[in-house]
Structure 1
Amino acid sequence: MGACTQQSNFCSYQNTDVFSKKTFQYLENLMYSKKVEKDHHLFVDNDPADRLYYLKQGQIKITKMNEEGKELVLYIFQAGDLIGELGISTESRYSYSAKATRTCEVGIIQQKDLETIIWQHGEFAVEFMRWMSNMHAITRSKFRDLMLYGKKGALCSTLIRLANSYGIMTPEGIVLSQHFTNTDLAELIGTSRETVNRMLSQFKKDGAVIISDGTIIITSLEYLKTACSCENCSIEICRI
């Protein structure tokens, strides 16, 4: 599974890195595979939360729709990530949707099977709790940045997270290996594309970013960190 580097990829961390090779094998033994076509849903808001998904290939976007019909992107999961949550009862349901942004292959783990290995293997239970704690910490930190530091702070925080998830170190700066439009960025912070346009224009004037043929290059990570009062969270928390 992934690890951070300082020369090629800025970071290749997956949220399953909290599991040891031995305990992750328990999960792999439970999985059965499913293909999810691009733009199809893995699950939708209010579906039963009775299984987990291991993303073997592709990309999954987790979204929540507000009362005005505007979509907020909560997470973007990559190959190697574990998706979902363990319901506290058989009636638990998802409060968000998961959509494939490209063709995916996922491993599906039923809750009843997951509960069995939690009961049988204490080391797995500890690592699973650590995974859940990390996912909750990611969510808390994202909402903290949005609530405390406004749209500018939220955008700066999002660019840092994107750098940690997709950044490649180059002499010019940190190049995001995946293309993100201003609309994509707006969905990640719950604002309009026009607002993102204005903020990025200011960032460019301030020398913090370069945008070349739609590719974002971060030239001043310190500028972004200052704007969102960065707390230098660990790499497993500071990700998109």
Structure 2
Amino acid sequence: MLLHKGETLFRQGETGPLYHVRKGLLKIIRIHEDGSPILMNIIVADEMIPHHSLITHKQYHGTAIALVTCEIDVIPSRDWYDTLEQNPQKCLDIALLLQNKLRMMQQRIDQLTQTSSAEKLRSLQQWFELYIGPAALEDVLTQDEIGQLIGLRRETVNRLLRAQAAGGR
């Protein structure tokens, strides 16, 4: 399946299949009761999602939206869970996949613990370059989403990006 930038793969609260992201980048947003969206996660190439349904089926925790054009394999839930029952090695594969995702999240936590706002932004930009280069972070995420990822207000992100542009980054 081909998913273009801005298209939705699945919505919060729905149930459905699992997905393997062959190529591309997705964001997972969660809509709170007041209607405000919060960026929860970034999904990169070669991930299986949703992570919380890799062992047992559960409703989608958030809404998945393509940040760039994505190539995605749809994996019917029943086929996935039948394979797990028949192939214990697949459970080790899932454990390794989740371990890699945990390590990625640890890198994101490290970004949040940087001492300065400017360093938080630089760390996130460097992390994103691994997955979206040569596009700039601010070409893929809004300033509000960038702020949500690194614990800063949109206004602070705006000021930092302006300062980077003026200083040549």
Same fold (TM > 0.5): yes
For residue 122 of structure 2, what is the aligned residue in structure 1? 156
Match of 2:39 among 43, 62, 72: 72
Is residue 195 from structure 1 mapped to residue 135 from structure 2 by the alignment? no
Structure 1 residues 188 and 51, CA, compared in 2 at 3 Å: closer, same or farther?
farther
Structure 1 residues 155 and 117, CA, compared in 2 at 3 Å: closer, same or farther?
same
Match of 2:6 among 19, 39, 60: 39
Question: Over residues 69-105 of structure 1, what are the superposed CA-to-partner deviations in whole Å (9 max), with x where a residue is unaligned?
Answer: 2442520434x44332243654x22222101234444
For residue 177 of structure 1, what is the aligned residue in structure 2? 134
Distance 1:147 1:107 in 2: 35
Q: What percentage of aligned pairs have identical amino acids? A: 21
Root-mean-square deviation (CA), in Å? 3.3
The residue type paired with residue 136 of structure 2 is H
Match of 2:20 among 54, 57, 62: 54
The alignment partner of 1:94 has SS state of: coil
Distance 2:5 2:161 in 1: 29
List gaps (5 residues or longer) in structure 2: none
Does structure 2 retain, via aligned residues, the 8 Å contact 1:155–1:185? no
Does structure 2 retain, via aligned residues, the 8 Å contact 1:74–1:188? no
Q: How many residues align?
A: 163
List gaps (5 residues or longer) in structure 1: 1-33, 167-175, 212-240
Distance 2:6 2:165 in 1: 32
Is residue 83 from structure 1 mapped to residue 49 from structure 2 by the alignment? yes
**Structure 1 or 2: larger helix share?**
2
The alignment partner of 1:178 has SS state of: coil
1:201: how far off? 4.5
When Rg is computed on C-alpha atoms for both structures, the one with the higher figure is 1
Does structure 2 retain, via aligned residues, the 8 Å contact 1:36–1:106? yes
**TM-score between both structures, scaled by the size of structure 2:** 0.71
